[in-house]
Amino acid sequence: MRYHGQAFEVSLPVQLTDFADGAGLPGLARDFHAAHEKLFAFSMDTELELVNLRAVALGKATSAACPTTAARRWQPDQGQAARPPNVG
């Protein structure tokens, strides 16, 4: 998150339970203001922007098969880069 128009963001941890217990976006805004004040010694009464959202999903995989890379072998005569890409 960041203040509207600013270039630097402050990363905040968010749990699904934060939204389940009713804290939601107002709680996230409160946490942002506190984190910003701790980092920069001030906070502002202005609009906030949610810049990026990352999610992690955990669970049991039904299959761990990886696709073969044999079909993607590097062929320098096909107009590709001067060195093979790292596909390992």
What percent of the chain shows pLDDT beyond 90?
A: 33
Residue 66 has pLDDT above 80, yes or no: no
Q: pLDDT by residue (tens digit) across 4-45?
A: 988 889 999 888 888 777 778 898 999 999 999 999 999 999
The residue that leads in pLDDT, 33 or 83, is 33
Please, what's the b/e burial string for 58-72 (b: 16 or more CB within 10 A of its CB; e: otherwise)? Answer: eeeeeeeeeeeeeee
Q: Residue ranges per domain, the chain?
A: 2-56
Q: How confident is the model at residue 80 (pLDDT cuts 50, 70, 90)?
A: low
pLDDT of residue 11: 92
Mean pLDDT of 67-82: 59
**Pair 36, 43: CB distance under 8 Å:** yes
